[in-house]
């Protein structure tokens, strides 16, 4: 998923053998996704911190009423997004997260499909990126403007050609290029870390390709770029706010659809 797209995956998980949440009439969700969420919730409930040892795969399977195979697939997802660390022969550990918004520093344990957490994350991103866009309109150099424009064009091309990887790369480059043009390294770090957490919502429960809000996102990126290029701080901040608000609505609608049908 990107800032502009949310299209859920529907493929079956042969190893899970679970057609979604028990008793749910909502869309199908592979069992390993559900277990990945449950593991994150367990870590929060047990108040485990980075570096703490977790229950074994067998113990997790027993707690969650599933097979060790499903737990192993869930652990692979959590390892890939940096939430769990598996040490061969030693067991599972809560990953050491050195990011400025990591679990040890953030005021709570981020759950990727928790609507309140997603809302708070986007609220935080809105503050960051409106401020960064405002500063970029004041400080951007010609080279930085070219980088922002090139990233916006990559997003547009990815959308028009259906190349999800190109769209995603352009989207990431665009937001980081705007932050870099603010000439404030704290914004660069904050934007990077907040987007990293956002990608966790994309990975667990919300597999995304181009669709949804992508067409609008292309135009919203262009509006941000033009305001920065024109040296209009308030217009840049307003365009960034519109983009983040629309993206949040996209995420919230899709999470609600996936969870509640």
Mean pLDDT of the chain: 82
- Tell me the pLDDT band of 1, cut-offs 50, 70 and 90: very low
Output the 3-class SS for the chain.
CECCECCCCCCCCCCCCCCCCCCCCCCCCCHHHHHHHHHHHHHHHCCCCCCCECCCHHHHHHHHCCCHHHHHHHHHHHHHCCCEEEECCCEEEECCCCCCCCCCCCCCCCCCCCHHHHHHHHHHHHHHHHHHHHHHHHHCCHHHHHHHHHHHHHHHHHHHHCCHHHHHHHHHHHHHHHHHHCCCHHHHHHHHHHHHHHHHHHHCCCCCCCCCCHHHHHHHHHHHHHHHHCCCHHHHHHHHHHHHHHHHHHHHHHHHHHHHC
pLDDT digits (tens, 9 = 90+) for 189-204: 999 989 888 888 777 7
Report whether pLDDT(72) > 50.
yes
Least confident of 16-25, 203-212, 222-231: 16-25
Q: What does the pLDDT read at residue 6? A: 34
Cα within 13 Å of Cα(2), Cβ side? 31
Least confident of 68-72, 109-113, 235-239: 109-113
Average pLDDT score over residue span 96-125: 70
Q: What does the pLDDT read at residue 259? A: 64
Tokens representing residue 132 in the block: 């960064």
Q: What does the pLDDT read at residue 105? A: 53
Report whether pLDDT(133) > 90.
yes
- Tell me the pLDDT band of 261, cut-offs 50, 70 and 90: low
- Range with top average pLDDT, 57-71, 185-199, 208-222: 57-71
Between CA 204 and CA 198 the distance in angstroms is: 11
Q: What does the pLDDT read at residue 53? A: 93
- Tell me the pLDDT band of 19, cut-offs 50, 70 and 90: very low
Q: Does domain 115-260 have CATH number 1.20.120.530?
A: yes
Least confident of 20-24, 51-55, 198-202, 248-252: 20-24
Strand-pairing partners, residue 53, are: 93
Domains of the chain by residue range? 115-260
Q: What does the pLDDT read at residue 101? A: 52
Q: What does the pLDDT read at residue 151? A: 97
Average pLDDT score over residue span 234-253: 91
């Amino acid at each position: 998923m990107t800032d502009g797209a949310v299209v859920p995956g529907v493929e079956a998980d042969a190893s899970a053998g679970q057609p979604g949440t028990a008793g749910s009439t909502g869309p199908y969700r592979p069992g390993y996704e559900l277990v990945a969420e449950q593991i994150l919730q367990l870590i929060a409930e047990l108040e485990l911190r980075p570096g703490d040892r977790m229950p074994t795969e067998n113990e997790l399977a027993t707690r969650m009423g599933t097979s060790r195979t499903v737990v192993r697939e869930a652990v692979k997802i959590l390892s890939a997004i940096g939430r769990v660390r598996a040490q061969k022969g030693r067991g599972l550990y809560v990953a050491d997260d050195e990011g400025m918004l990591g679990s040890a520093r953030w005021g709570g344990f981020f759950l990727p499909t928790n609507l309140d957490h997603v809302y708070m994350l986007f609220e935080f991103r809105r503050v960051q990126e409106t401020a960064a866009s405002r500063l970029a309109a004041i400080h951007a150099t010609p080279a930085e403007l070219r980088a922002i424009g090139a990233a916006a064009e990559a997003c547009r091309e990815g959308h028009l050609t259906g190349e999800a990887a190109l769209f995603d790369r352009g989207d990431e480059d665009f937001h980081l290029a705007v932050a870099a043009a603010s000439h404030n390294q704290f914004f660069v770090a904050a934007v990077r870390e907040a987007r990293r957490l956002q990608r966790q919502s994309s990975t667990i429960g919300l597999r995304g390709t181009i669709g949804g809000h992508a067409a609008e996102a292309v135009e919203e990126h262009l509006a941000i770029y033009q305001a920065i290029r024109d040296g209009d701080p308030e217009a840049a901040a307003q365009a960034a706010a519109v983009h983040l608000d629309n993206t949040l609505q996209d995420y919230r609608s899709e999470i609600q659809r996936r969870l509640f049908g």
